[in-house]
Structure 1
Amino acid sequence: MKAILCTQHGLPESLEYADADDPTPGQGEVLIGVKAAGVNFPDTLIIQGKYQFKPDMPFSPGGEVAGEVLEVGEGVSHVKPGDRAMALMTWGGYAEKAVVPGMGVVPMPPDMPFNEAAGFPLVYGTVIHALKQRGRLQEGETLLVLGAAGGVGLAAVQLGRLMGARVIAAASSQAKLDLCAEHGANELINYTEGEPLKEQVKALTDGNGADVIFDPVGGDAFDQCLSCINWDGRLLVVGFASGRIPEAAANRLLLKGCSVIGVFWGKFVQVDARTNMANFMQLIQWYNQGRFRPVISRTYPLARAADALNDMLARKATGKLVLETGA
């Protein structure tokens, strides 16, 4: 099979498009014939050796795929060969075939295209867990979403509205904010113009601040969020796309009565697979009802994975980027 291989840590240009051995599923695993693979920010980290997991080389990056079940290992009963499925793993998705843990395989809705399915599991799985289990988002609360036009940010805008929140989308350009408005954002903040982010949030909330803050950015934006969070607010730490891992001042947490809450969805899938599957059943129900669709901004052939990753690093992406294998 063809695969994108990381043979040394480095930037996307160091990746190789090469032949690789077909993988074989073991107990509790599923072999997927990959039609499409989602591109996500952690992929840019794992190839540089900056992610919390460091696989042995050579390896393929890629944490989510969609395709056809080719083979199932012992103990897997919820899918069978021939089924269309989307699936999650930590790495291995940038290939024509991928072995994935059975607990990470979800049957696809019959009419869902493969490119949408490849952009579905990681971002929407992360977001519904963040907003529901970690953020305890309630109808009528105000949700602030940073990096709101990116894949995970736009999913947070969509699901926040579906859960009944007033959504404030923060992004770096008017074009990105227009996209957020199309997908349900009630209020828009361009944090590269005008007053600082914290002042704009306070102005939109009568000085109270946001009840829940979804932060995949970190850095300076995180610092400002501690100044514009409501009493009993929940600041969700999703990632650090800005590059700087921030620190929370304990006195601010005390004075605001607020919480800074980590969102590590990959671990959640392992320790509470039942609740994770219930989350996916809710997501699929909403999808089948036409209440949201994944936003795929661009697709690339598998051989151009480096271009997709560089576009993500340059923050050119809105919505999801997807690789297609042609297999």
Structure 2
Amino acid sequence: MLNDTSVPEFILLGFPELQEFRFLLFVIFLTAYLFTFFGNALIIGISNLDVSLHTPMYFFLSNFSLLEMCYVSVTVPQLLGSFVTGSHAISFWTCITQMYFFFFFGTTEFFLLATMAYDRYLAICHPLQYPVLMDSCSCAYLALGSWVSGFLTPFLPTAFISQLSFNSSNHINHFFCDTGPLIKLATSNTFIAEVMVFLVSAVVVLVSLFLTVASYGLIVSTICRIPSASGRYKTFSTCASHLVVVIIFYGTVIFMYICPRSDQSSGMDKVVSVFYAIITPMLNPIIYTLRNKDVRKALEKACKRVKNKCLKHRGKTLVTVLTGISTHT
């Protein structure tokens, strides 16, 4: 399909009211991006290197961390570039591509969160059958299904939006190419595109939310039947980190895409977008390391191994130096 727009590029306005703090914003967003990227990379490395973490839960967590790295890389590098160069221009097809991948990774995140909730449900409610029900093949199929579903879902909304005409204003009041601000600029009939975006977003969010809530409903029911308080706490702690991430992510996205929006809410939209597109992925490594004993123990073991290797290397270096001195003497 060919687009008949006469706008060769868009201008992402970003945060025009904060232009005098451009350098400060660059430092803040760069710090958040690096922390998110390397924090999630650390979780992937620990989950794969430590044998005790070779379980379905950490397999899905590694997928989730990889997803978060991709998610922030769709928007933040372009935003950082605009702070450095002062240029906010983005070509039409680059904008459409950015919108598609943001939709792709966001949709995959919903499916992965639902899959992780289902994994916790099987582990807590069916512990004896868990190793059989969630074997390596099942884990691979569920993870692959989440990624493929996320990849296919944005095709129709993106196709409809790319066919809209944009032959008046080309200023997008956002810091990346999101569906809502882009549709607002269209001069042709946007009804089908708006309905398509709303329906796809609603189906993805509500279906995955239903599966997640159903899983946690069964989990809570099982936990309540555990006689000891310590047993209930220990069981619930295995899914507490995931539950925190679910509440934060679903809350911000439902507010952004499902709740009715007013025409004067662009400033609030940008604040909420910063939260779920940048802040939430940055919080995930913190949540999963501070609230997860297994990850903390694996990190401590990895640090000890690195420390021992450094001490061993220093010892060898010192012996070599002393040997050289004695030989010279």
Q: Which TM-score applies when normalising by structure 2?
A: 0.25
Higher helix proportion: 2
Q: Which TM-score applies when normalising by structure 1?
A: 0.25
Higher strand proportion: 1
